[in-house]
């Protein structure tokens, strides 16, 4: 769902941006809370590594990740950045 929205947004931006130089760069930043799949794409951690950090308690619910009301897990990018600086 997020990937589809991201792709649609990217296509929309590309279609509406008029640039004097070619190609015109488009910069997009993910939300603070992202899916495991998207976090894996932007962080360099594999999905398995992220799930392992959650399962083993390296990352704590409410700090590095949250659960949506429907049960889906979302990674808190700001929380993970704090974890990186703080250490485990």
Residues 52-74 pLDDT 10s: 999 999 999 999 999 999 999 99
pLDDT-derived band at 7, boundaries 50, 70, 90: confident
Q: pTM here?
A: 0.67
End-to-end CA distance of the chain: 31
CB atoms within 10 A of CB 51: 15
CATH number at residue 47: 1.10.1660
Domains held by the chain: number? 1
Which structural domain range is residue 78 located in?
2-86
């Amino acid at each position: 769902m997020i990937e589809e929205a991201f792709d649609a947004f990217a296509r929309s931006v590309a279609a509406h941006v008029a640039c004097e130089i070619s190609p015109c760069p488009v910069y997009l930043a993910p939300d603070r809370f992202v899916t495991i799949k998207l976090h894996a794409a932007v962080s360099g951690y594999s999905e398995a590594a992220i799930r392992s950090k959650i399962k083993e308690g390296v990352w704590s619910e409410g700090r590095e990740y949250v659960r949506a009301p429907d049960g889906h897990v979302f990674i808190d990018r700001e929380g993970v950045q704090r974890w990186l600086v703080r250490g485990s």
